[in-house]
Amino acid sequence: MSADAMEVTLLSYLSAMLRQEWNLSGSESATITSSVFAGQLVGALFLGPLGDRIGRRPVFILAGSIISIFGLLTAVAWNLPSLILMRMFVGFG
């Protein structure tokens, strides 16, 4: 629960900063935030049943790894589509 709150807080800072830095429109900025929630939807539908099948611990480790890797890759995103993809994988985890 606190990780989700931290993600929303991070997205508010990230969107505001990138809006100025990359000269994004309001809809482009909103797409960044929406991509995380779309990733969460797909991740819940995929990782939940996977956890039932192989166990919660391995899926928790997998999810943590996905979040960590793609969270770090967010820092090196070179354009808007790459940033949206990275943030969607963070949401998936």
pLDDT tens digits for range 49-65: 999 999 999 999 999 99
Mean of per-residue pLDDT scores for the chain: 88
Q: What is the pLDDT of residues 3-52, one digit of tens each?
A: 767 777 877 888 888 888 888 888 888 898 899 889 999 999 999 999 99
Using a 10 angstrom Cβ sphere, with 0-12 exposed, 13-18 middle and 19 or more buried, the burial of residue 19 is: middle
Residue 74: which of 10, 4, 5 has the closest Cα?
Answer: 10
Residue 79: which of 24, 37, 38, 39 has the closest Cα?
Answer: 24
Query: Sign of the C-alpha dihedral, residues 81, 44, 61, 13?
Result: positive
Residues 6+ apart with CB under 8 A from 16: 29
Contact in structure between 14 and 32 (CB atoms under 8 Å): yes
| 93 pLDDT more than 90 | no
Domain boundaries, the chain: 2-92
